[in-house]
Chains A and B, each alone.
Chain A
Amino acid sequence: MNDEILDRGYPRSGSMGQLLQRSLASMVKVSGPIEAIPGKTRVIALIGPTGVGKTTSLVKMASQYTYDHGLKVGLITADTYRIGAVEQLKIFRDIIDLPLEVANQPDEIPDALAKLSDRDLVFLDTAGRSPQNRRQIQDLRAFLEASKPAETHLVISATTKNSDLLPIVAKFGLVPINRFLFTKLDETKSYGLFLNLAAHFSIPVSYLSTGQKVPDDLESASPEKIAELVLGEAHGRPS
């Protein structure tokens, strides 16, 4: 029943929904979709813990920008540690037919970028974990310094335990983060803390991902969408 109300546009037309939308919009900022400037290569980095959906999100964005916007997109993966990570990306690459470069070390990034210099957008996939956990963030930092991303999205799964959320932000905060990307929103019923996080850190939310379907389940974050999630939560949205 609640879904029905939402489907009928309650958040857009109802005054409660509008009120909530406005107050949420003043708290939680959204960045809008990734900006692409044709002819100028912009690097978009995705960082975050293992298993949150970095690669899936990256592929979704790559295919949206390739097919919907007709842009030239390339991929670089620096996630050579996790078994199967490169292969996973290669499968998607073959489907979408995109150039993919693999960078084992930060010093391989300039070469990879040179090969992709005709691309409008280059998505950088990074490792969530590395052999030496202690060095992991230093490695990540080196990869980012070498690739100078225009945007760095910290990908956080909505299934993350509440108590792990701040430690993740603290850990990845060692590199400059300018977007939050929330995934697996279909697997949780509570969004409060995630939105609070975005509000407290004044980091805009870029995308919201609600499932595994590539590329359909990735939406640019909007006040409407966020209000819809919160309303669904308040009404005990059936799963």
Chain B
Amino acid sequence: MEDQAEGLRALAREARQGKFPFEVAGPAAEAKKASVFQAPAARARVVTVTSGKGGVGKSNLSINLSLALCRLGKQVILFDADLGLANVDVLMGLSPRYNLQHVVYGMKPIHEVMVDGPEGLKVIASGSGISQLANLNSGQRERILSQFSLLEDRADYIVVDTGAGISRNVLAFVLAADESLVVTTPEPTARLDAYGMVKVVSQEKIQARLSLVVNQVRDEREGDENGELIRTLAQRFLNMSLDYLGCVRRDGHVSQAVREQTPFLLSYPNSPAARDVSLLAGRLSATQSLEGRPGDGSRFFSRLAAFFSR
């Protein structure tokens, strides 16, 4: 499909090819950083994707949103952090051999754990690596966190697919991230659980930024109604303001793509779901991330490690 953005995408692709995203820093990388299309050493914006209820479409959204961001010329790392049901690799037809656990135990450097996906996307599986960070001594921890810092320095976005429900793990990711997308469907229990998720986050001292995505909607209007509903509840009962990022229509291409183990954004680029996810990516990149985290210039992975050890 040729459109106005095609030219921009081509430029972005070229820029990316010239990019040196994930190798250990060196003179070549520094030189490339200076090129026109490089964001000047910006730190990655970390977006977690979470939900109150399982099976609402988090993983599919994480994957396809990541790809849509890639198509907008962003450098994206997709981090599969669903410690219960990690299935990003299956959904994308990738077979990563290592996960973050190998990094945490010092068995692999971070770039060997990253797998190349389509569109320049990098995929990392968490394994139970992240939660083990809490158990390391401070020397080990520093060494590993400095490896993670590389990721944060080189990517525009880190998209984190978390598990469903209000567990300590999920909460740690949400609180450490720059923002979180709370995914729900119009189904009564799913949206009540989405509210429950928002409520738990609202009770934390740390202010997390939450946005809603309503998946599997009949039409845009149903998405708007549900987004507005949860926004209203959060405002009235939790005194918490949420953004409604948008919706993704219910679309048979999604389950088709799941069966085919290819992201629908690539195999069915003109499907309703693909178009909706592209819109979400556009909106996400148009909004500003929080200007740093309140209090400190700390990094996502070190914040995460801190949450796991609290």
Contact = CB atoms under 8 A, between A and B. Distances in A.
Interface of A: 162-163, 165-167, 169-170, 173-174, 193, 196-197, 200-201
A201 B229 contact: no
A197 B196 CA distance: 10
Interface of B: 186, 188-189, 191-193, 195-196, 199, 229, 232-233, 236-237
Nearest to B189: A193
Contact of B188 (A162, A173, A174): A162
Contacts of A169: 233
A174 B236 contact: yes
A200 B199 CA distance: 8
Q: Which 8 A-B pairs have the closest CB atoms?
A: A173-B236, A162-B188, A170-B232, A200-B196, A170-B233, A163-B188, A170-B229, A200-B192
Among B191, B192, B196, B229, the one with the most A-chain Cβ atoms within 10 Å of its Cβ is B192
Contacts, number: 35
A166 B188 contact: yes
B236 A197 contact: no
A201 B229 CA distance: 14
A134 to B, nearest CB: 15
A173 B199 contact: no
Nearest to A171: B232
B203 to A, nearest CB: 10
Contacts of B186: 163
The residue among A165, A170, A174 with the most chain B CB atoms within 10 A of its own CB is A170
Nearest to A176: B236
A33 to B, nearest CB: 25
Given A163-B186, A173-B236, A200-B192, 10 more contacts: A162-B188, A162-B189, A166-B195, A166-B233, A167-B229, A170-B232, A170-B233, A170-B236, A200-B193, A200-B195
Nearest to B197: A200
B237 A173 contact: yes
A179 to B, nearest CB: 14
B interface, over-half SS: helix
A173 B186 CA distance: 20
17 contacts: A162-B188, A162-B189, A163-B188, A165-B192, A166-B191, A166-B192, A166-B229, A166-B233, A169-B233, A170-B232, A170-B233, A170-B236, A173-B233, A174-B236, A193-B192, A200-B199, A201-B237
Nearest to A174: B236
Contacts of A165: 188, 192
B233 A197 contact: no
Contact of A197 (B192, B199, B229): B192
A163 B186 CA distance: 8
A197 to B, nearest CB: 7
A163 B222 CA distance: 12
A201 B193 CA distance: 11
Nearest to A161: B188
Contacts of B195: 166, 200
A138 to B, nearest CB: 14
Contacts of A193: 188-189, 192
A153 B2 CA distance: 58
B186 to A, nearest CB: 8
Contact of B232 (A163, A173, A196, A197): A173
Contacts of A170: 229, 232-233, 236
B189 A196 contact: yes
A167 B195 CA distance: 12
A193 B236 CA distance: 20
Nearest to A200: B196
Nearest to A173: B236
A229 to B, nearest CB: 18
Contacts of A166: 188, 191-192, 195, 229, 233
